[in-house]
Structure formats: structure tokens, C-alpha cells
């Protein structure tokens, strides 16, 4: 492909994009408005349905309330931390989001409805075939259920009865089966629901008497009623920065809804208080059990400590340890002193008993505190001094000296005897002190062990005592919490009902009904068009192919027949053919072509009609035109013109003859149009068209005619048209609106891109005049009328 062809391709693609143009809103509007009766019927049906829905829908009132929840998201949980960190039961954690879900729970609403005894409702007539709920002071009677059957819903389809007040003492009761019974007020009655009685309502507003006969009573299961109210309840957290919950309830009666919401809040506060009280009570019971066990354990530990002290004869280990230390020290000092005294006595005794110390002075007793020994030694020393004094003047054998010697010997014996006695006494004392010191030493060596074991006992006792004191303190805190339990919520806005029903929104229902009435036929038409794969507009063709559109032929509503162009008659179709002829003129001049092939995607798109009228259009300008019926499979030209011909092109090709003038037929009232029929239908059209004789026939016709128009077979069905593409100079494809499929347009585009036919063009057939030219039918009828 050279550069010129590439540029041409790009130009064609650009022209194809620019040819799409804007959306044809006029066509779209007309497409829907022509089915106006569908829209009218649909709007009427949907409007009536919307009115019926709005009429029979039970009005719903909105009851709202707002309350603050004690959100302690950052607090401690009583059950987990109360015994460890000293927190009180009031610090139980309540997260607002969780409490909102609690409000919406079915179980809470069911309890509220059961406490309100919502097992029935009263209704009064409110127009034809509908009822309105009444409640409390609006109802002239009070129904009391004495016993309810739990399985009554399994046996009945209608859960209502009707009553009609006859007088001050009786009323008429009608069952769902239509049975009527006269009963008195206060009389016990039985039905599918159970046992009940009906009495007068003392708070009834008597001014409603004219509107309350009859009254319908509906019996309900309280659980089902609770589920119904729970379904119609919403609990919303205002925002994340606040702990405020807004409650919204839709109810058929405003006062009934207000009571439900009040009871729900009351029940919620009661259950949260019960929960906190239960926690406190459980805590107190647990603490009491622990205190009892700890008391027993403390008594056992105290008895163990007492027995231990009795076993070791101690009262205070520290004091006794100091006493043992002091006693041991004192004993050691006393033993040391006694040992010194014994040593002194033994030295005196040794000194006295030595021979060389006879008649010598006896040493002092030093620290020996014994008066007798001291006196004996003093007397001995006194006599010794006397003897020494006499020996200075007398002889040893002097009787006085001898007497002194005897006295000294006697005193010596007495001293020795006295020392022996003293020494024995001191030794006894020292041995006793040594035995006592040994006992003290043995007891003192056991003191650390006794102190350690007693310390373990005291430590265990201290732990139990601290635990006992802590539990006692927590028990007091739990008692205070139990006594000071407060509500978990605070009502900001008490439940109140809107003055008017919020449901059903009749305006929206009517608007929806109208839109639905318009939408159903619109959707049906839209889906129908969406599933329709046929060509409807010129823009549809322009979107799918860049093939040039030569012109458009309107729908033949006037039933002009196959020949729409006639001398002296003005019609829209005639002018459209003249317009196409004008568009062809420059193309023919540029290509110098004479042979025009007319084809289509499938049968029925109007190629024969177009071929004949195009030939007539050229003939009206004085041109000599030959129209060839080359659809050898299903010819329709001559039969439509009611021309009978025994021979035709197929016969010449079969006989290999080119004498085409022998088979020419003249068009009635138009000598410039020569008709050449198909002849007998061959068994092998494609092979027959490949006969070289066909080229000879075409050349002869070119010599005698200005234009040759070939009416050939559809390209989408057989290959005959492709066999004739070599002899044709121009190719016109017929596209019929609302008949030709988009797939066939793709085939034409493929032919154009691959240049399989020369100068392909498209003519739209059966196009609507308003869409093609923008003029209305009245204008066209007046303009084109002959």
C-alpha cells in the first residue's frame, strides 16, 4: 500500500467518525410517542395500583426519643478488676454502640410487649374495605385474657373477631366463620385464642360512639408482636463524640407506640440495674465465702503459732535471744571468776603444803570472799609473826615457841581444810554455771531455726490477715454499690409521636406509580430496540461503515407499485431517485463507468425496486439504459412487471451466444429502458456467470446503451455478485431500515476495506421521511402532490 492509499484510508476513517454526528432525539422521541396508547394504559394501571396501595396501606406514626448512655469505654470492668484495683461496681463498662444493639434486640422488645400485655388490638372502620387501629380511651371496651392457647396460630387463618355493642349490658360477637353470638359484659368467652372476657372501658370517650360499630378485635402472640415492634425500631448513635442514642419506632397507633418506647427504656434501665445488682450480690456472696474460708485458715494458723510457742516455751523470740546472750555472757564471767578463785585457792594450798614454806607467811586470799578463810590466814600470819619475833630472842625448843608451832600446825590444817571446802564449793558452782552455759548455748543455737519457722508462720498469718481485711473492705464497697445503684441511662427527650403519619408517603407512591407507568412501556420498548439488531437510522450505518451513502428512499406508503417514477407525477420517492441520480452523476463522470451493479445483504431489501426506478430516472433524462436481471437464482424483475419471457441471459450463456438484442424487452411507456430477463433458472448459476460470453454480452450492451444496471443476487447469501464485480464500474448496496442487520453492514465494510467491489456505495431503503428530511407528512403531502 502506497502513501496515497494510506492517506485515503485515514481520511475515510476520519470521515466515518465525523459522520456519526449528534444523537437524533427527534427519532428517539417519535419512537416512543408512536406507542402513546401503551403509555396511557400503563400509567392508568399503575396510577390506580398506586392509589390502591396508598388507600389500603396502614398509616405509620413515628415515635422518637433520645437518651444519654453512661459510656465508660475507658473504665474498668467491675467483674474483672474490682478485687484487684479497688474499683466499684458502678464502673462497669457500657459502650454506646453495644447498648444501641441491646435496644434493638428482639428479646428486650418481646419482654416489653409481654409486660404491656400486647396480645390484642382494636380496629374501627375507616372507609370502604379498610380499618383503623384504636387504643386506650378510643375503645369502648376492655378485653381481659384469662388463658391463652400457645398453638392457636397453627389452627386458624383469621385471627380476628368482630363485636357490636347492643346496649349497656350486652354485645354481639361475630367469629371469623361468620357465626354470631350475643354475650354479656364480663362473661367469660372461649374461642381459638383461649378464654377471655369483655367489659366496659371507664375511660372511653363517648363522643366517638357513632364511629365504633362494629369493632374488630385482632388476637396476637406477644412474641410475634415483640418481633414486629423490634423490626420497626431503630437505635442510632448520634456521633462518635457523644454517648447519645436516638430511638425511632414506627407504630400504627401513636399512643401505643409511645407506651412501647417508654416500657422499652424502663425495661432497659431495670435490666441494667439488675445486672449491676446481680454483679454486686454475686460479689458479696463470693466475698462471704472467701471470708469464711480465710477465717478458718487464720484460726488454724493462730493455733499452730500458739502450739509452736508452747512446744519451744517461747513468747518473744527476740527478747529471749537477747536474754540468752546476756545470760551466757554473765555465766562466762562467773565461771571465769570462779576459776580464778579456785586457782588462787590451789596456789595457796600448794604454797602451804610445801615443806620449805613451813612457818612462812601465807599469801593473801585476794578476791576470795570467805570470812573464815581470811580470819584463819590472818590468825596464822599473826602467830607466824609472833613466832618469828620470839625466835629472835629465844631458842626453837622454847615451850612458848613449841606451843606457837602447835598452834600454827593446827591453823595450817584448818586453813587447808577450809581451802578444800571452799574450793569444792567453788568447783560445784563453776560446774553448775558451766552446765547452765551449755544449756544456754544449745538453746541459743536453736534460736535462728525457731525464729525462721515462727517467721514463716507469722508471714502466712499476715498474708491471710491482709487478704481478710481486703475482702472485708470490698464487701463494704459492694454493699454500698448495691445500695446506691443508679440508672444506666438518662432520657433527654421522652418518647413522643409525630402529629401526622410518616408512612405511607402517598405523594411518593403516586409519583412512583406514574414513573412506573411510564417506565414499563419505556423499558419494554428500550429492551425491544436493544435486542433489535436491524438498521433503523442513517447514523447507524455511518457508525458501522465508511462506505459512502448515496441517498435514501422513503417508505412506499402510497402503494405506488414497483414503478414509482412516472412522467408528470410528483412524489417524494420520485424526487429521492432524482436526488440519487444527481449524486451519481459526478461519480460516473469521474470513473467514466457505465455498468452499475445493485446488490444487497439478503433478499427483500428492495434492490429490484431500486434498480428499475434508477433505470427509469436515467431514462427520463434521455439516456439509454439497459436493466439486466442477473439474479439467476430468484429473479423478480420481469415477473413484477408482468412480462413473460421464454429466453434470457442464462439461456444465452448456456448456449454460448452473445445475441443479446434478441432477448431485450421494452419498458411500458418508456422506450429508453431495455429490460433483459434472467430466462430459465440454471442449476449452476456461479459457473454460468464465469462464462466468457457474459463479457461479450456486456460489451455489446455498452455500445448500444449509455448505462447498464445489473440487478444481482444478495452478497450475503451467494457468490454470484462477486463473479460480476469485474464487469461492474459502480456497486450500490441496498440497506433497508428496520430489516437489514448490522452484521450485513459489517460485510459491506469488509468489502470496502478489501476493495472487492469497485466504488461501493449504499442506498437506504424504507427510510422514514420525517427522519430523513425533517419535514412532517402534511408538509410533504402538500409539496409533492401532483
Which percentage of the chain shows pLDDT scores above 90? 16
Domain count across the chain: 3
- Confidence (pLDDT) at 15: 55
Number of residues assigned to the chain: 786
DSSP at 656 = T
- Residues of the domain holding 467: 317-483
Q: Which residues contact 627 (CB under 8 A, 6 or more apart)?
A: 611, 612, 615, 637, 667, 673, 674, 675, 676, 709, 711
Q: Which has more pLDDT, 154 or 338?
A: 338
- Confidence (pLDDT) at 264: 92
Is residue 13 assigned to a domain?
no
Is residue 7 assigned to a domain?
no
3-state secondary structure of 223: helix
Least confident interval from 300-304, 547-551, 734-738: 300-304
568 shares a domain with 681: yes
As a whole number, mean pLDDT of residues 205-213 equals 62
CA–CA distance, 718 with 741 (Å, rounded to integer): 17
Is residue 27 assigned to a domain?
no
477 shares a domain with 619: no
479 shares a domain with 389: yes
Any alpha helices (H) in 177-253, and if so which ranges? 222-231
Residue tagged 581470811 (cell numbers)? 374
- Confidence (pLDDT) at 92: 39
As a whole number, mean pLDDT of residues 471-498 equals 79
As a whole number, mean pLDDT of residues 403-414 equals 79
Which percentage of the chain shows pLDDT scores above 70? 81
- Sign (positive or negative) of CA dihedral 719, 720, 721, 727: positive
608 shares a domain with 468: no
Is residue 213 assigned to a domain?
yes
- Confidence (pLDDT) at 6: 52
Render pLDDT for 527-586 as a digit per residue (tens, 0 to 9).
887 787 888 888 888 888 888 899 998 876 666 677 877 766 677 888 888 899 999 989
Q: Are residues 43 and 514 in contact, defined by beta-carbon separation less than 8 angstroms?
A: yes
DSSP-derived secondary structure for 588-653:
HHHHT--EEEEEESSTTSSHHHHHHHHHHHHHTTT--EEEEE--SSS--HHHHTT---S--HHHHH
Q: Which has more pLDDT, 669 or 145?
A: 145
718 shares a domain with 621: yes
542 shares a domain with 473: no
473 shares a domain with 545: no
Q: Final residue of a domain: which of 456, 483, 510?
A: 483
Q: Which residues contact 140 (CB under 8 A, 6 or more apart)?
A: 165, 200, 201, 204, 208, 209, 212, 215
Res 7 pLDDT > 60: no
Q: Mean pLDDT over all residues of the chain?
A: 80
Res 22 pLDDT > 90: no
CA proximity to 277, closest of 486, 474, 122, 98 = 486
pLDDT-derived band of residue 367, with 50, 70 and 90 as boundaries? low
pLDDT-derived band of residue 5, with 50, 70 and 90 as boundaries? low
Q: Final residue of a domain: which of 205, 239, 256?
A: 256
As a whole number, mean pLDDT of residues 723-733 equals 88
Q: Is 0.85 surpassed by the pTM of this model?
A: no
Res 776 pLDDT > 70: no
324 shares a domain with 242: no
Res 32 pLDDT > 60: yes
Half-sphere exposure of 190 (CA within 13 A, CB side): 2
Is residue 39 assigned to a domain?
no
- Confidence (pLDDT) at 46: 93
Is residue 236 assigned to a domain?
yes
393 shares a domain with 469: yes
Render pLDDT for 340-353 as a digit per residue (tens, 0 to 9).
777 777 777 777 77
Res 211 pLDDT > 60: no
Question: Could you tell me the CATH number of the domain that includes residue 629?
Answer: 3.40.50.300
- Confidence (pLDDT) at 152: 65
If residue 298 lies in a helix (H) or strand (E), which one and from where to where? helix 254-312
233 shares a domain with 332: no
Least confident interval from 435-439, 509-513, 721-725: 435-439
Q: Final residue of a domain: which of 205, 224, 256?
A: 256
Q: Which has more pLDDT, 641 or 341?
A: 641
- Confidence (pLDDT) at 72: 53
Res 86 pLDDT > 80: no
- Confidence (pLDDT) at 733: 92
Any alpha helices (H) in 355-398, and if so which ranges? 371-391
Q: Are residues 69 and 235 in contact, defined by beta-carbon separation less than 8 angstroms?
A: no
431 shares a domain with 349: yes
Res 774 pLDDT > 60: no
Per-residue b or e along 128-147, where b marks 16 or more CB atoms closer than 10 Å to that residue's CB = eeebbbbbeebbbbbbeeee
Res 45 pLDDT > 50: yes
> For the range 590-594, what are the long-range contacts, defined as Cβ-Cβ under 8 Å and sequence gap of 24 or more?
591/729, 591/730, 591/758, 591/759, 592/729, 593/729, 593/730, 593/758, 593/759, 594/702, 594/705, 594/706, 594/707, 594/708, 594/729
223 shares a domain with 342: no
- Confidence (pLDDT) at 772: 46
Q: Which residues contact 193 (CB under 8 A, 6 or more apart)?
A: 145, 148, 149, 152, 159, 219
Res 3 pLDDT > 80: no
Render pLDDT for 272-293 as a digit per residue (tens, 0 to 9).
887 777 777 778 888 888 888 8
Is residue 272 assigned to a domain?
no
Res 778 pLDDT > 80: no
Is residue 25 assigned to a domain?
no
- Confidence (pLDDT) at 82: 44
Amino acid at each position: 500500500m502506497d502513501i496515497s492509499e494510506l492517506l485515503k484510508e485515514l481520511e475515510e476513517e476520519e470521515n466515518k467518525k465525523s459522520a456519526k454526528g449528534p444523537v437524533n432525539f427527534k427519532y428517539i422521541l417519535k419512537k416512543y410517542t408512536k406507542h402513546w396508547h401503551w403509555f396511557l394504559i400503563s400509567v392508568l394501571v399503575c396510577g390506580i395500583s398506586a392509589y390502591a396501595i396508598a388507600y389500603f396501606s396502614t398509616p405509620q406514626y413515628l415515635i422518637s426519643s433520645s437518651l444519654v448512655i453512661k459510656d465508660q469505654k475507658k473504665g474498668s470492668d467491675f467483674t474483672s478488676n474490682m478485687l484487684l484495683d479497688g474499683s466499684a461496681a458502678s464502673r462497669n463498662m457500657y459502650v454506646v454502640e453495644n447498648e444501641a444493639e441491646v435496644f434493638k434486640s428482639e428479646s428486650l422488645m418481646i419482654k416489653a410487649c409481654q409486660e404491656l400485655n400486647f396480645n390484642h388490638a382494636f380496629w374501627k372502620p375507616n372507609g370502604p374495605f379498610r380499618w383503623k387501629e384504636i387504643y386506650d380511651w378510643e375503645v369502648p371496651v376492655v378485653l381481659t385474657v384469662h388463658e391463652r392457647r400457645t398453638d392457636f396460630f397453627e389452627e386458624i387463618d383469621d385471627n380476628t373477631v368482630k363485636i357490636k355493642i347492643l346496649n349497656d349490658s350486652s354485645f354481639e360477637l361475630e367469629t371469623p366463620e361468620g357465626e354470631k353470638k350475643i354475650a354479656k359484659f364480663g362473661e367469660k368467652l372461649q374461642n381459638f385464642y383461649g378464654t377471655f372476657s369483655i367489659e366496659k372501658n371507664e375511660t372511653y370517650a363517648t363522643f366517638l360512639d357513632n364511629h365504633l360499630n362494629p369493632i374488630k378485635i385482632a388476637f396476637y402472640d406477644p412474641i410475634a408482636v415483640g418481633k414486629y415492634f423490634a423490626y420497626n425500631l431503630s437505635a442510632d448513635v448520634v456521633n462518635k463524640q457523644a454517648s447519645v442514642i436516638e430511638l425511632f419506632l414506627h407504630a400504627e397507633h401513636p399512643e401505643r407506640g409511645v407506651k412501647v418506647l417508654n416500657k422499652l427504656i424502663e425495661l432497659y434501665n431495670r435490666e441494667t440495674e439488675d445486672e449491676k445488682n446481680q454483679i454486686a450480690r454475686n460479689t458479696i456472696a463470693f466475698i462471704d465465702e472467701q471470708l469464711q474460708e480465710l477465717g478458718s485458715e487464720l484460726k488454724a494458723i493462730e493455733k499452730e503459732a500458739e502450739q509452736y510457742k508452747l512446744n519451744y516455751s517461747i513468747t518473744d523470740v527476740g527478747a529471749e535471744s537477747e536474754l540468752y546472750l546476756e545470760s551466757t555472757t554473765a555465766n562466762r564471767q562467773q565461771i571465769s571468776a570462779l576459776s580464778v578463785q579456785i586457782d588462787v585457792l590451789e596456789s595457796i594450798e600448794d604454797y602451804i603444803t610445801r615443806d620449805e614454806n613451813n612457818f612462812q607467811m601465807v599469801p593473801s586470799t585476794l578476791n576470795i570472799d570467805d570470812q573464815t578463810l581470811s580470819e584463819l590466814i590472818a590468825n596464822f600470819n599473826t602467830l607466824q609473826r609472833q613466832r618469828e619475833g620470839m625466835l629472835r630472842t629465844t631458842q626453837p625448843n622454847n615451850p612458848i615457841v613449841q606451843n606457837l608451832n602447835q598452834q600454827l600446825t593446827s591453823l595450817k590444817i584448818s586453813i587447808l581444810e577450809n581451802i578444800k571446802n571452799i574450793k569444792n564449793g567453788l568447783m560445784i558452782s563453776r560446774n553448775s554455771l558451766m552446765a547452765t552455759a551449755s544449756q544456754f548455748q544449745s538453746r541459743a543455737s536453736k534460736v535462728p531455726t525457731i525464729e525462721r519457722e515462727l517467721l514463716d508462720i507469722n508471714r502466712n498469718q499476715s498474708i491471710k490477715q491482709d487478704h481478710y481485711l481486703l475482702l472485708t473492705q470490698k464487701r463494704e464497697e459492694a454493699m454500698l454499690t448495691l445500695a446506691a445503684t443508679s440508672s444506666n441511662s438518662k432520657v433527654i427527650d421522652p418518647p413522643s409521636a409525630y402529629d401526622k403519619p410518616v408512612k405511607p408517603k402517598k405523594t411518593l407512591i403516586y409519583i412512583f406509580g406514574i414513573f412506573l407507568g411510564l417506565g414499563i412501556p419505556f423499558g419494554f420498548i428500550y429492551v425491544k430496540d436493544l435486542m433489535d439488531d436491524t438498521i433503523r437510522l442513517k447514523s447507524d450505518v455511518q457508525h458501522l461503515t465508511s462506505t459512502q451513502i448515496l441517498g435514501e428512499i422513503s417508505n412506499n406508503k402510497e402503494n405506488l407499485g414497483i414503478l414509482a417514477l412516472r412522467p408528470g407525477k410528483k412524489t417524494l420517492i420520485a424526487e429521492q431517485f432524482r436526488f440519487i441520480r444527481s449524486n451519481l452523476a459526478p461519480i460516473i463522470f469521474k470513473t467514466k463507468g457505465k455498468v452499475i451493479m445493485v446488490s444487497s445483504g439478503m433478499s427483500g431489501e428492495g434492490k429490484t425496486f431500486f434498480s428499475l426506478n434508477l433505470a427509469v430516472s436515467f431514462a427520463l433524462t434521455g439516456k439509454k439504459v439497459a436493466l439486466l436481471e442477473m439474479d439467476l437464482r430468484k429473479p423478480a424483475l420481469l415477473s413484477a412487471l408482468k412480462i413473460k419471457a421464454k429466453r434470457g441471459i442464462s439461456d444465452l450463456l448456456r448456449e454460448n451466444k452473445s445475441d443479446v438484442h434478441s432477448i431485450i424487452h421494452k419498458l411500458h411507456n418508456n422506450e429508453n429502458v431495455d429490460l433483459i430477463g434472467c430466462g430459465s433458472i440454471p442449476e449452476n448459476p456461479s459457473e454460468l456467470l464465469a462464462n466468457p460470453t457474459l463479457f461479450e454480452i456486456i460489451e455489446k450492451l455498452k455500445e448500444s446503451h449509455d448505462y447498464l444496471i445489473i440487478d444481482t443476487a444478495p452478497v450475503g447469501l451467494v457468490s454470484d455478485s462477486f463473479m460480476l464485480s469485474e464487469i461492474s464500474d459502480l456497486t450500490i448496496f441496498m440497506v433497508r431500515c428496520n430489516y437489514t442487520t448490522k452484521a450485513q453492514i459489517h460485510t459491506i465494510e469488509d468489502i470496502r476495506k478489501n476493495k472487492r467491489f469497485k466504488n461501493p456505495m449504499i442506498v437506504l431503503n424504507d427510510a422514514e421521511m420525517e427522519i430523513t428530511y425533517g419535514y412532517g407528512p402534511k408538509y410533504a403531502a402538500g409539496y409533492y402532490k401532483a
